[in-house]
């Protein structure tokens, strides 16, 4: 069974969304369930800082030894930071998907909708 922290929100595409120290900025990554399904992650492509992303649209990809999977933006807004450490250590997503394996910080342009709570996401991944 995969880990599903209660303090985060989730998408049906297996991204998580959490708060940052700044009220209008949200951080996201892929869930423990997603990294487990992908297997050993060997490469990640993320949007650039300053890029506008739209909820539901592809904003990057994660490549594993098994496959390549698209990353879907869970929120709309402007990218304020990307996790540069993943360029040299993409496997961090496997070992710590909710911590050091975060992907992108976004200054949100509109309140996110369609996000799931931990129990709802747990039902999808059960």
CA separation (Å) from 126 to 94, 115, 119, 123?
A: 20, 18, 10, 5
Domains and CATH numbers, the chain: 9-105 (2.40.50.100)
pLDDT digits (tens, 9 = 90+) for 45-98: 999 999 999 999 999 999 999 999 999 999 999 999 999 999 999 999 999 999
Alpha helices in the chain (DSSP H): 32-38, 92-95, 118-125
DSSP helix/strand/coil, 107: strand
Our separate counts of H helices and E strands in the chain read 3, 9
Cβ-based neighbour number of residue 114 at 10 Å: 11
pTM of the model: 0.94
């Amino acid at each position: 069974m995969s880990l599903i922290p209660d303090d985060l929100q989730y998408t049906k595409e297996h991204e998580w969304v959490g708060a940052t120290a700044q009220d209008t900025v949200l951080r996201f990554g892929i869930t423990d369930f997603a990294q487990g399904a992908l297997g050993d992650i060997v490469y990640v492509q993320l949007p650039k800082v300053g890029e506008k992303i739209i909820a539901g649209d592809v904003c990057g990809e994660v490549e594993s030894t098994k496959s390549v999977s698209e990353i879907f933006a869970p929120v709309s807004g402007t990218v304020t930071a990307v996790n540069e450490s993943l360029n040299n250590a993409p496997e961090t997503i496997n070992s710590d998907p909710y911590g050091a394996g975060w992907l992108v910080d976004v200054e949100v342009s509109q309140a996110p909708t369609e996000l799931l709570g931990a129990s709802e996401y747990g039902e999808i991944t059960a």
